[in-house]
Chain A
Amino acid sequence: MKSLAPLCNLLLMIMVSIWTVLLWDPALLALLLALELGLLAVAGQLGKLAKALFGLFMVAMFFAAIQLPFDVAVATAVASGLKMMVMTVAVLLMLATTRLPSLTAALVRQVRIPYEYAFMFTSALRFMPDFIAESHAVREAQVCRGYVHSKNPLKRIVAYAASVEPMVLRAITRSDTMAMSLELRGFGSVNRTFSQQIAFQTRDYLMVGFLALVTAAVIVCR
């Protein structure tokens, strides 16, 4: 999986999601889920994601259970819970096996998404850890001023928004520096190279062929 081209991994996620929409057989869905978990294990991510997967499983079970009082067949309810899991795990699998800078490079070069859009995505991810520290300051401000004690939830939301304000304003100030940095470093040029390895290899073509076959099979089986 890690050795597949980023676009191929994305394609895998999309195709699995499409199969899952089409399939209603709990056994097939369970097989798909088992395959996904197997791939996660091969990628060495199963242990790291165990907690998230368990949480997801509980949500899916709950979701299947609440349908039962509404005249939904047990098989259908179980299938819908499984569908939810298969689709979500497909996303987790793609994230676990694809480097995001490579994925954005692939989206720009192979899918022709404008680079500005892809850049917006990676740079937003770049700044997220910086804002975690600032969000702690927001929480401390909350505690200091005693906002948490107000009974009226509307008042609390207004107070909360006010305490987020400095963070937003600082971000807008920072955007000035960031825009200057982009200008200085030639952002927005027409010809741009990417240093990431994103080209399709033989194994990627094989994977695409395999995905096409399974998709055809799923459509026929329905």
Chain B
Amino acid sequence: MENNKPVEMRQVKSQGGKFRWVAVSALLLAIGAIMRLVSPSFAGVSINWIITMYCITILVIHPSVPKAVAIGLVAGAINTITSKSPMPHLNMVSEPIGALTCVLLMGLPFAMKVGGVSLRPAVITFITTFASGFTFITSFKMLMNIPLQIYLYGMLPVVVFTAVANTIIAQVLYYPARKLLGQEEES
């Protein structure tokens, strides 16, 4: 054991990424479900933690489009069985659409930088939340024949406010999460 001359090492490729995406998605969606149940509303605006969490998940793990849609489906299923909102199974439609929006936006070649700070997580989360919320309330309106005024002045603003709240959360949480997962700075 006193031998101190350096050893010839060979490189081994990591296979740890194979199921990491499943583990990260499951855990972050679990946080989303819990936070959705316990977090307060801010001046009447509540955060949709499930959407925020799958946005962060998709942003940090860069899944393929089918995997992203799968994350959306699982998010929708979790929402369906945990949310107290009426017609929870509409989430099975709205969340996959949100997740699809998110992963497609990630592929766009825009830097979205303002004074050195990348606003990608914020912009993507805003649009994703809007896409998901818009899908939910629009299918709700169509299925239920809701009067247009209620849709425009009662439901649409809620979607926009939620999107704003989600955007702030995602922008704050994305960078520490990505740093911990050890991904390189995007160019």
Contacts and interface: CB of A to CB of B under 8 A. Distances in A.
User: Touching in the complex, A and B, CB below 8 A?
Assistant: yes
Given A128-B34, A169-B176, A80 B87 contact: no
Interface string A121-152: 10111111011100100010000000000000
A74 interface: no
Contacts of B38: 132, 135, 139
B19 interface: yes
A67 B154 CA distance: 11
B39 A172 contact: no
B80 A179 contact: no
Q: Among the interface residues B27, B145, B146, B176, which one has the most CB atoms of the partner chain A within 10 A? A: B27
B177 A127 contact: no
Interface string B47-87: 10000000010000000000000110110011011101011
Given A131-B34, A153-B42, A158-B172, A179 B180 contact: no
Query: What's the dominant secondary structure at chain A's contact region?
Result: helix
B176 A179 contact: no
Nearest to A60: B86
A89 B20 CA distance: 36
Nearest to A177: B23
Nearest to B16: A179
A31 B45 CA distance: 37
Given A117-B70, A117-B74, A179-B23, A125 B30 contact: yes
A219 to B, nearest CB: 17
A183 B19 CA distance: 8
B17 to A, nearest CB: 8
Interface in B137-187: 143-147, 149-150, 154, 165, 168-169, 172-173, 176-177, 180-181
Given A119-B22, A124-B33, A168 B173 contact: yes
Contacts of B149: 70
Interface of A: 13, 17, 21, 52, 55-56, 59-60, 63, 66-67, 70-72, 76, 80, 83-85, 87-88, 91, 95, 100, 114, 116-117, 119-121, 123-128, 130-132, 135, 139, 153-154, 156-158, 160-162, 164-165, 167-169, 171-176, 178-180, 182-183, 187-188
17 contacts: A66-B150, A88-B86, A100-B81, A121-B26, A125-B30, A125-B78, A128-B82, A131-B30, A135-B34, A135-B35, A153-B42, A171-B27, A171-B30, A172-B27, A175-B20, A178-B23, A180-B16
In the complex, the 8 A-B pairs of residues with the closest C-beta atoms, listed nearest first: A70-B147, A161-B172, A153-B43, A175-B23, A127-B30, A178-B23, A171-B27, A153-B42
